[in-house]
Every structure is written in structure tokens, then in C-alpha cells.
Amino acid sequence: MVATNREQVSAALSSAPARGVIARGLGRSYGDPAQNAGGEVLDTTGLTGIALDDTTGMVTVAAGVSLDALMRVCTPQGWWVPVTPGTRQVTVGGAIAADVHGKNHHVDGTFTAHVTRMTLALPDGTDRDLYPGDALFNATAGGMGLTGVVVEADVQLLPITTSLARVDTDRFDDLDSLMAAMASGDDHYRYSVAWVDAGTRGTLGRGILIRGDHARAADVPDRKRTLAFDPGTLATVPALVPNGLLNKASITALNEAWFRKAPRQRRDELQSLTAFFHPLDMARDWNRMYGPRGFLQYQFVVPDTAGHVVQRTLEELRTIGAASFLTVLKRFGGEGPGLLSFPRPGWTLALDIPTGVPGMADVLDDLDELVIASGGRLYLAKDSRMSPRTLELTYPRLSQFRALRAEIDPNRRLNSDLARRLDL
Amino acid sequence: MIDALSRPQSVAVFGATSEIAGSLLQRLRGPALRHIVLAARPSPTRDALAASLRTDTADVTVLDFDASDPDSHPAVIDAAFAQGDIDVTVIAFGVLGNQADFDADPASAVEAAQVNYVGGVSVGMRVAARLREQGHGALVVLSSVAGERARASNYVYGSTKAGLDVFATGLGDALHGSGVHVMVVRPGFVRTKMTDGLPEAPLSVGPDDVADAIVNGLRHQRATVYVPSTMRFVMSGLRHVPRSLFRRLPI
């Protein structure tokens, strides 16, 4: 079912079948939050419309608009989407529902920290405007679409004077020195993220730290000064990718190549914002690379004091011969008000791992216990396997969320596979 | 929901006291599994199984179930799905019987057909309706290679499994695209209490082998699973043996 206007959203909610309805944007969540077996899935990508006030940088945007589309409109006018995940191919509605974060979380917080108003279609079919501080706003930020369907939002954009990033790159031969550099130096940069080698050979945890900020026009030579935003794609991944294309050997080789191509140290390199923020988007439909089955994402955050969990995770996965295709390490800043928002201060590690490796289920269950014990949590937008118990022990505001959901949606008009799997 | 590592959260087994069912349940238990339904006739085995599976995070519902009494099935299936979705449902009941006894007492042959085939259809149809409604889940049906080609030594049993097998295979196609996965399992000779005392056939397996094959088949969403897997080729060959020759084979 596709919605192209607010009335259709309301109608979909009022006529929800017994197993409910869930909004779906561009389907970039790695697990089951936008699936609803036996029920209805509402495609919101037909909700379009962007209205930018180019003096204030406040944009009113429909929920089905992708960050890609938003950037194409706003960047040339000197405004940047303040929080962007590793791909632009997510909708504004999805960014709110998962309360996504970017490389600047330690400075700027999550996506919803920049949302000044949102219109939510409630389960009873009525619309309500929500503002920061509202209980329902906080339940919707990171609420995985279970409080209603976001139809529109006001987002405060960030002023920029070029569409370039000034990037510093550092290569580290081991995890300890990488993490030490991040702990001491991240605060000097708006954007920071580390790529970690999690192949099955080579020094475990060696990595590349990429940090930067928007380049100011004054810092850029005239001939390079631009606000143009024209992300190209190098290739499109075909629809049919065989299983097993990404295997232990190919992943380890790709990790090795990536590490070797990085400079030991480079300062003030000018990169396009798209190369800096969204390297994956260079390949259109990159998500197909994983094949029809066989990969999962595992992303946790643990407090600063539990940095050892990062090392332990890499070791455990190597022990069973599981290589991670894309491993990203980052430090989070403060916790936001979203009841089910993922980020909290500390280290977050994201891994892409094949599911077919024997022993994987047990290793991840053990790692869950470490995350629980250290006071961390797993990211709902990436989860496809945690247990309801893990969720309960790691999201302290879950009971508040459940109470609010019971209140506004007593008949469970909104439901998803994720909600059923985890008793949200 | 079945998670990304192919682990179900809920499982219901009809004929739960079979050794294959027991082996399977041992493999499915873990942090992911939180709801287990054991449907079987009352017995100490059933209660012991329930006790062994019950944990802090997994509850066990025990239901009285008689495969030979289809009138009682709707209530049992309602009870099995009362707590919510069932990710994996297993039809594991069945009687082997003995051809000589069937010959001596035709009523016992009817009884075997009643349990293996009629019972399977009765449970299968009702479970299928539930699964179609929930839009996801797997139905595992324990068939047998005996149903693939009739043998003089056990054709009554073979015919009951043949009926069940065709039923389940067709059901799988009927449910294609609904999100429901039907898997027909065709073991060869399985060493269990059901086959105790019978001479072991070549390529015989244990209940653990069948359980492993079911777990693997669920992971790969197989429609048909032979145990051992080489049995697929043996049966493929046997199907084409001329009848006059097949009749004389010592199998």
C-alpha cells in the first residue's frame, strides 16, 4: 500500500487489519522494523515536498523524502542536513523513527535533536503536531514507527559555505592507539569515525581514523570553491547477486586493501561531502552486495569505561572465523530524550557479519551479555536477533514507551515484526 | 519471529514425545526460544520433556493430543496458538505398525491410516490456516521414503506416508508467497523405539541426524529434505527400477 498524501495515511491507519500496519520508507533498516507479517505495510515514499526558508535554514519536509533528495535541494543553497547516517538513501520519516546518528553525534546528537516540529498521524487516524519535550515526541524519536506515522517534519539545517569537507586521515596499527587517539582528539572535530580491520588475518583492530569538518569558503582556493552537490554513482549492483560473493577470503582481502590504500597521515584534504559521508552510496543499491541472505549487522554502544568490549568482540568473531565486511567504530556524545533512542555516551561498534558461520549465534549471545553487563545496548534499526530480555535490560525507558504505546494505540493498529519479536 | 540466525522464538510439536521431536527441541532451545507447545498423549515422557525444556526465559505449554481423533483437533490447535504466533510447527506423530499385524487385523491398518494420514491432514489444514493468517512461520511434516515407492513388506505404512507427503507437498505450493514455509522431511530408516527390533536398513540414521537435517533445512528454507541426504539419489534410482525387478529386491 502506497501513501501519497496525509488522507491516505489516515485511511490506512483507520482501516488497519488485525495484525496492524507499519510505515516503510526506503527499507534500509537491517532487521525487521519495516516488515509486518500478516499485516499491512504502508510505503511512505510517496509523501514528498520540501519547503526551505533559505534565510533561516529551516526546512519543512515530507516524511517520504530521502536525505538524498533533501541534500540535492538544500546544499546548493548553503544548507546541510545536520545529521546523516552512512547512506543518504533513508527517508526523513525513517531517520526520525530510528533516531539515526552520524559521524557528528559527539557534537550534534541524533537526527531528532534537529527536528523542531513533526506531524504524526496517530493510530486513530488524527494528526498531531509534536514539539521537542512532548512525551509523544520523545516516544516517536527512535520509536521505530510504533507511535504513529510521521508525515512531515521541520528540521533546522546547518549553514555551510562550500559543499566540501576538510578531512584529516590517520592510520593506526592497533586498536589501542586508535582508540587512544579517538578519546583524546575527537573533540577537536565535528565529524569523526574510524574504520576497523576485522578480517580474519592481519593485526586485529588496526584502523583508519577519518575526521573533519565542513570546509569554509575562506579555506578553499577559488577554483575549488563550490556549493554544488552532484553525487555520482560509480556502479549499480545488479539485482541478482549470488550468495557467498562476500566470504571470509574476499572480505579479508577487501579489508587488507582498504587498510593499505589509506595514508599513514594526511591533513586538510578537501573531499566532496558525498565522498566523506556516504562512500557506500557510490555503488547504487549497495545493499544488494550482501546477497539474498546471509549477513547481519551487529551494533552496540558501551560506556567509555567498557572500551575492552570492542577488542573482545573483534577477538571473539575472529576465533570462529567470522570476518566483518565493514566495521565502524565511533564515540557517541550525550544521550537524547528519545525513549528508545540508541545512542548514549561511549563507544559504538558496528559490524557486518555473515550469518552462516558456525557458532555465530552463541558468540553474539555471549557478546550481548557483555553489553548488558557494561550498561550498553544494541541498535534497534540494525538488530535482527536480540532477545526481548536483552532489550528489557538495556533500554531503561522501555516501560515508559510501552505504557505510552498502550495508551495511544490500545488496539495495536501499528505493529511490526520487530515489535512482535521484542515485545515492544 | 524467526530471527536472522534462523532461530525460532516459538515452536509447537504435534506428537512431541517422538524421539525425533525430542532431538529437534534440544537443538532449538537457547536464548531465542521462549515459547514451546508440546502436543501429545499424556505420558511421563511428555511431562519429563516439558520439565527439561522449561527455563526462566522459555515457557512450555503441554496439550493433550490424540492424532486419531480429528474432532478434538480444532480445540488443541486453538490452544496451541492461544499465546500468539508460532514460528515453527512440527507434525511428528505417526505409527509404523507391522505388515503381518495389518494383514491379521485390517482394522489396525485403518487405524494407522487414521493417525498418519487423516491426522496429518486434519492438523495440517488447521495449522496452515493459522500460518496463512500470521503471514510467517514454518510447517515441518515428517514423511518417509517409504511413501515414495510401495514395498510389499510395509505398503500400508508406505501408503499413509505417501498420502501425507503429497498432502504436505501440495500444501507447500499452495502457501507459496504467503510467507509460510512448508518443509517435507523424508527420512530413511531411523533407529528409534518405533523401529526397535527391526533389521537395520542400509543408510539408517538416528533421531539426532533427522533433527540436524530439519534445523539445516529450516535455515535454507528447503521444501524437501532427505535424511541422510544421499537417500535422495537412492530413491531417485529406485523409483525407476522396473516393478518386476523391484519386487524381488531385498528391501
Domain ranges of chain A: 6-160+394-422, 164-386
Which residues in chain B land under pLDDT 50? none
Its pTM stands at 0.92
B117 is catalytic: no
Put simply, the chain B residues between 15 and 34 with a CB less than 8 A from any chain A CB are 30-32, 34
**CA–CA distances in Å: residue A294 to residues A173, A245, A353:** 30, 10, 8
Neighbour tally for B82: CB within 10 Å: 10
**Option in A32, A37, A385 nearest B135 (CB):** A37
- Is the pLDDT reported for residue A291 higher than 80? no
**Which residue(s) pair with A29 in the sheet?**
none
- Structural domains in chain B plus CATH codes: 10-246 (3.40.50.720)
Query: CA B33, CA A335: separation in Å to the nearest integer?
Result: 32
* A-chain residues near B4 (CB < 8 A): 31, 296, 355, 384-385
| Topology, domain A164-386 | Alpha-Beta Plaits (3.30.70)
Query: CA A181, CA B19: separation in Å to the nearest integer?
Result: 57
Q: What angle do CA B109, B115, B119 make, to 5 degrees?
A: 140
**Which residue(s) pair with A115 in the sheet?**
A155
Query: Rounded mean pLDDT of chain A?
Result: 92
**Option in B7, B57, B85 nearest A361 (CB):** B7
Size (chain A), residues = 424
Contact A26, B122 (CB under 8 A): no
In the block, residue with C-alpha cell 593499505? A260
Quick one: average pLDDT of A142-163? 97
Q: What is the pLDDT of residue A323?
A: 83
Query: CA A34, CA A416: separation in Å to the nearest integer?
Result: 7
Q: What is the DSSP string of B192-228?
A: SGGGTTSPPPTT-B-HHHHHHHHHHHHHTT-SEEEES
Q: Kindly report which listed range (A15-29, A261-275, B54-68) carries the lowest average pLDDT score.
A: A261-275
pLDDT tens per residue across span A59-71 = 999 999 999 999 9
Query: CA B223, CA A9: separation in Å to the nearest integer?
Result: 38
Q: How much of chain B, in percent, has pLDDT values that exceed 70?
A: 100
At A198, the pLDDT band (50, 70, 90 cuts) reads confident
pLDDT tens per residue across span B40-69 = 999 999 999 999 999 999 999 999 999 999
DSSP code at position B87? S
Query: CA B47, CA B49: separation in Å to the nearest integer?
Result: 5
* B-chain residues near A32 (CB < 8 A): 1
At residue A402, the 3 state secondary structure works out as helix
Q: How much of chain A, in percent, has pLDDT values that exceed 90?
A: 75
Q: Quote the distance between the C-alpha of residue B19 and its chain's center.
A: 11
Contact B3 A421 (CB under 8 A): yes
Q: Answer whether A412 touches B (CB < 8 Å).
A: no
For an interface test with B, the pick among A21, A369, A390, A421 (most B C-beta atoms closer than 10 Å) comes out as A421
- The three cell numbers locating residue B220: 535454507
| Topology, domain A6-160+394-422 | 3.30.465
Cα-Cα end-to-end distance for chain A = 24
Cis status, amide bond into B228, omega within 30 of 0? yes
Tell me the CB-side half-sphere exposure of residue B228, using CA atoms within 13 A.
9
- Is the pLDDT reported for residue A331 higher than 90? yes
Neighbour tally for A414: CB within 10 Å: 27
Query: How far A338 CA lies from chain B's nearest CA (Å)?
Result: 26
Contact B5 A19 (CB under 8 A): no
At residue A39, the 3 state secondary structure works out as coil
* A-chain residues near B136 (CB < 8 A): 37-38, 417
Q: Kindly report which listed range (A1-15, A245-259, B182-196) carries the lowest average pLDDT score.
A: A245-259
Contact A42, A61 (CB under 8 A): no
**Contacts across the A-B interface (CB distance below 8 Å):** 54
Query: CA A157, CA A207: separation in Å to the nearest integer?
Result: 32
Contact B5 A37 (CB under 8 A): no
**Option in A37, A361, A368 nearest B179 (CB):** A37
Pick the residue from chain A with its C-alpha nearest to B216. A356
